[in-house]
């Protein structure tokens, strides 16, 4: 394996077990320096990383945990260990990095000085195991070229990341798109390549996991719109409006119509199956997949709405932000 010089890697995780081992094994020898940031694992993750020769940062769990804070601390350690670092790859501990990704992505950044962040195709390792895993895989199949944001796996210019101040450490979700908003405001570009990047193991097989993950998305939409919802960015305003409309607006209209008209007011609820049918017809996959995806896209507006409310309560009420995990 050829080492990509000038590249440091930050891996974050907690109790990822074999997933973390696959992740680190895919990186050892591929990058000049690797830092694993652990957030209180009890499964031997720290010791396993150390056996592989990986630098380990153990977070102080007396301070509220966020993935953003973990990544920032990993980057700070990389800066000390590798002062010559030009690029930093961030990756979640449940992802395996494709062997060709780092040299390919670094070459792209070297050739495109206006680009600060580059990402590729993240795929789900076991999409066939559940509809929830499949939805993750399809969610990540986004258009290539110039884009507005990246996800948790991305190669970034170290100087651009540092100048932007890194991730906002208080965000419990949506920290990657929020960073990209600030980078683009400084004139940088974000790019998605038509190249394989990582294999992700969501291990999402239960409805409750999907609900919590989607709720977290709604929370991120609300906080993103609160931070950057104004012109010209209008960050996640559309996503937030959709959550309010489908998750609360339609049920309220149905209630009012029922109070006024009686049972015929329930006919308002027909907008839900009509929306499912509309989305299913627009799908590009097999018919069964299109209908399942459409159903969950519409159903997902309810946990997204809960996430929106949770953010508002935390921001303006007595609530306290806490990580929303689905595993």
Residue 103: how many other CB atoms lie within 10 Å = 15
What distance, in Å, lies between the first and last C-alpha atoms of the chain? 32
Show the tokens assigned to 228. Answer: 């950057």
pLDDT given at position 28: 94
What is the spatial distance between Cα 70 and Cα 105, in angstroms, rounded to a whole number?
A: 23
Is residue 3 left, alpha or beta, with left meaning phi > 0 and alpha meaning psi from -120 to 50? beta
For the chain, the domains span 7-205, 228-316
* CB-side neighbour CA atoms (13 Å) of 133: 16
- Tell me what pLDDT residue 50 has: 96
Cβ atoms of 141 and 121 within 8 Å: the answer is: yes
Q: Output the pTM of the full model.
A: 0.93
Q: pLDDT means per 10 residues in the chain (327 residues)? A: 85 95 95 96 95 95 92 97 96 96 97 98 95 94 95 96 96 96 97 97 94 97 96 95 98 97 96 97 92 97 97 83 74
Task: Tell me the Ramachandran region of residue 126: left when phi exceeds 0, alpha when psi lies from -120 to 50, beta otherwise.
Answer: beta
DSSP assignment, residue 93?
A: T
Q: In degrees, to the nearest 5, what angle opens at C-alpha 31 toward C-alphas 51 and 325?
A: 70
Residue 70: the pLDDT is 96
- pLDDT given at position 284: 87
Give the whole-angstrom CA distance, residue 42 versus residue 53: 19
Fold of 7-205: Spore Coat Polysaccharide Biosynthesis Protein SpsA; Chain A (3.90.550)
DSSP 27-57: TTTTEEEEEEEESS--SSHHHHHHHTT-EEE
Dihedral sign for Cα atoms in the order 176, 182, 184, 187: negative
73 CB contacts (<8 Å, ≥6 apart)? 37, 57, 59
Give me the pLDDT at residue 270, please: 98
């Amino acid at each position: 394996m050829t080492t990509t010089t000038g590249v440091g890697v930050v891996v974050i995780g907690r109790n990822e077990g074999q997933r973390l081992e696959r992740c680190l094994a895919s990186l050892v020898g591929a990058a000049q320096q690797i830092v694993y940031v652990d957030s209180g694992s009890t499964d031997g993750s720290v010791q396993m990383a150390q056996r592989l020769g990986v630098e380990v940062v153990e977070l102080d769990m007396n301070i509220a945990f966020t993935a953003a804070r973990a990544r920032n601390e990993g980057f700070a350690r990389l800066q000390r260990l590798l002062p010559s670092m030009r690029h930093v790859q961030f990756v979640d501990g449940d992802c395996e990095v494709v062997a060709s990704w780092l040299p390919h992505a670094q070459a792209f950044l070297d050739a495109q000085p206006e680009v600060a962040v580059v990402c590729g195709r993240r795929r789900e390792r076991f999409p066939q195991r559940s509809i929830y895993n499949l939805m993750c895989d399809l969610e990540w199949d986004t258009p290539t070229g110039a884009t507005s944001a990246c996800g948790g796996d991305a190669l970034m210019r170290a100087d651009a990341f540092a100048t932007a101040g890194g991730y906002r450490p208080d965000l419990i979700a949506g920290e990657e798109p929020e960073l990209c908003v600030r980078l683009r405001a400084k004139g940088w570009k974000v790019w998605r390549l038509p190249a394989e990047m990582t294999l992700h193991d969501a291990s999402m097989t239960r409805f409750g996991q999907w609900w919590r993950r989607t709720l977290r998305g709604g929370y991120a939409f609300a906080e993103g719109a609160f931070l950057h919802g104004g012109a010209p960015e209008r960050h996640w305003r559309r996503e937030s409006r959709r959550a309010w409309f489908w998750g609360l607006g339609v049920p309220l209209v149905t209630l009012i119509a029922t109070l006024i008209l009686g049972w015929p007011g329930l006919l308002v609820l027909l907008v839900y199956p009509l929306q499912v049918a509309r989305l299913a017809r627009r799908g590009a996959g097999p018919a069964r997949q299109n209908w399942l995806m459409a159903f969950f896209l519409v159903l997902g507006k309810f946990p997204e709405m809960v996430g929106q409310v949770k953010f508002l309560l935390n921001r303006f009420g007595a609530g306290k932000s806490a990580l929303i995990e689905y595993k």
